Amino acid sequence: MGTEKKTRRELRRERRSRRRELRRGALRRKMREEPGAFWTYVILRTIVILILIRSLMRGEFESSVVCLFVLFIYVLPQFVEEKLKIEIPSVLEIVIFVFVFAAEILGEMQSYFIKYQYWDTILHTTSGFLFAAVGFSLVDLLNKSENVKVQLSPVYMALTAFCFSMTIGVLWEFFEFAADRWLLLDMQKDTILQQISTVELDATRSNIPIVVSGIQDTILVLENGEQYPLGLGGYLDIGIYDTMGDFFVNFIGAVVFSVIAFFEERSANRPLTTSLALHRRRERTQAKAAE
């Protein structure tokens, strides 16, 4: 029995050792074949680890969680490549690494969303573009699969890329709303308005919008009767403008990629979709063998 347990322990140890060696081999291959993606990963990951250590030493729990989340995202590309037997283009990996760093480390932890007016807009436009590329890749993988007999048209591929990107955008806004509703995080940033239009002020209850212009301040009246002028210079909108703005720029990013992908699918020259689209690992291996 003891020998059997020892054997099982040895087998588990061997499997762990084999997995570690496979990961090291994958990193060595990436360093050799895709130095841009490899060094972007190494540099940004090192910075995040240093920030994590600093956050733990200062007792900043939320910042530590953000850093751990970023580190988790950074290992996903390698995990996806190994488990799904696909290759993520170097350009796409670099953009993903930089995007996550810009959104979570700079945007959230360094308050770039507050310091720079268009930081959030730039990131949502970029994400719309990137997720359209991912949606396009999923359909492209089906088109190139030997097990699928249907050949999808460029129009369908572009439409799928667009719809995939918009769906991810909607799910992200659901996540932001849930975080604001239950965790009170204010991910859907507020907007200061000088004019509102609402049927809530219609005394006749006839669904007539009442327009209020020239608003200079918002005053909070608490249940105990205390009043707090906010001094914001207008009415405090709680997220709807931010959400709709995010949807709009996500839409722009998705449309731009989908239109370009449509025309590239109709031509022999495909610089964008080739550099951003996923492809199966075995196809890459076969191509090398053919060379």
pLDDT at 285: 43
Cα separation, 133 vs 184, in Å, equals 33
pLDDT at 145: 73
* Structure tokens, 152: 């999808």
pTM comes to 0.82
pLDDT at 83: 79
- Helix, strand and coil percent figures for the chain, each rounded to 5: 70, 10, 20
pLDDT top residue among 2 and 263:
263
pLDDT top residue among 9 and 154:
154
Cα separation, 189 vs 179, in Å, equals 12
- Each residue's pLDDT tens digit, 146-185: 776 667 889 999 999 999 999 999 999 999 999 899 988 8
pLDDT at 87: 83
Tell whether the model's pLDDT for residue 211 goes beyond 90.
yes
Give the pLDDT band (50/70/90) at residue 279.
confident
Cα separation, 280 vs 284, in Å, equals 7
Give phi and psi for 268, each to the nearest 5. -85, -20
> Residues 218-236: what's their mean pLDDT?
92
Return the number of other C-beta atoms located less than 10 Å from residue 180's C-beta. Answer: 16
Q: Which residues are CB-neighbours of 55 under 8 A, at least 6 positions away? A: 63, 64, 67
pLDDT at 23: 66
Tell whether the model's pLDDT for residue 6 goes beyond 60.
no
Cα separation, 241 vs 42, in Å, equals 37
Cα separation, 82 vs 67, in Å, equals 24
